[in-house]
Amino acid sequence: MQLPPAVVGQFPVPSNAILGVPSKHPPHVVGHRRTINMALPGNEQHSNPEHAYILANKWLNASKLAELVKDEGLVYRKGKFSAIEEQQLKAAMENYQHGKQLSAEQLLDIIFAKTDKSKDTAFWSEITAAIPLRPIIAVYHHVRRAYHPMKQQGPWKAHEDEALKQAVTDVGQQWEKVSFHVGRMASDCRDRYRNHIVNRDIRITGHWSKEEENKLTEIVTEMTVKQGKDIDNDVFWGKVSELMGGKRGRQQCRIKWTDALSKTLKNEGQKPRWSQQDAFILVHKIDSLNVRDDTEIDWKLIADPDWNLWSAHTLQRRWLTLKKGVKGYEDMTHQEIMDILRIKKAHLPEPPPPSSRKRKERKVTSAPAVNEPESRDEGVPEAGTSTGSGTQLVNQDDSTDSE
What CATH number corresponds to the domain at position 173? 1.10.10
Question: Element (H or E) spanning 122, and its range?
Answer: helix 121-128
Is the residue at 12 inside a domain? no
Tens digits of per-residue pLDDT, 120-153?
999 999 999 998 889 999 999 999 989 888 887 7
Report if residue 363 sits inside a domain.
no
Contact 136, 55 (CB under 8 A): yes
Measured CA to CA, the distance from residue 59 to residue 397 in angstroms comes to 27
The CA distance from 243 to 221, in Å, is 13
Residue-number span of the structural domain to which 282 is assigned: 276-345
* Shared-domain flag, residues 49 and 98: yes
| 8 A C-beta contact, residue 128 and residue 53 | no
Q: What is the pLDDT of residue 313?
A: 86
Same domain, 163 and 143: no
What pLDDT, on the 0 to 100 scale, is given for residue 26?
A: 52
Find the mean pLDDT for residues 278-295.
91
In a domain, 236, yes or no: yes
The pTM of this model reads: 0.61
Same structural domain for residues 182 and 237?
no
> Residue 204 pLDDT more than 50?
yes
64 and 128 fall within a common domain: yes
Report d(CA 71, CA 91) in Å as an integer: 34
Q: Of 218, 244, 267, which residue constitutes the final position of a domain?
A: 267
| 56, part of any domain | yes
Has residue 171 been placed in a domain?
Answer: yes
Classify the phi-psi angles of 147: left when phi > 0, otherwise alpha if psi is within -120 to 50, otherwise beta: alpha
Last residue of a domain, one of 298, 328, 345: 345
Query: Is there a single domain that holds both residue 143 and residue 103?
Result: yes
Together in a domain, 49 and 140: yes
Domain count, the chain: 4
Answer whether 87's CB lies under 8 Å from 41's CB: yes
Same domain, 87 and 137: yes
What pLDDT score was predicted for residue 154?
87
* pLDDT at res. 201: 87
pLDDT number for residue 376:
41
- Is residue 229 in a domain? yes
As a whole number, mean pLDDT of residues 273-300 equals 91
Q: What share of the chain has pLDDT > 90, as a percent?
A: 44
Residue 259 domain flag: yes
Give pLDDT tens digits for 323-372: 999 999 999 999 999 999 999 988 888 776 665 555 555 554 444 444 44
Q: Verify that 107 and 65 share a domain, yes or no.
A: yes
Report pLDDT digits (tens) over 22-51: 766 554 433 333 222 334 333 345 568 899
Is 135 in the same domain as 67? yes
Together in a domain, 321 and 280: yes
Same domain, 263 and 281: no
Write out the H or E segment, with its range, that includes residue 99.
Answer: helix 83-100
pLDDT of residue 317: 92
Does 131 map to a domain?
yes
Residues 6+ apart with CB under 8 A from 253: 216, 237, 240, 241, 244
How many whole angstroms separate alpha carbon 258 and alpha carbon 266?
11
Based on the fold, state whether residues 109 and 177 are members of the same structural domain: no
Give the CA distances from residue 208 to residues 225, 232, 237, 255, in Å, rounded to whole numbers and listed in that order: 23, 19, 17, 12
**Given this model, what pLDDT does residue 45 score?**
52
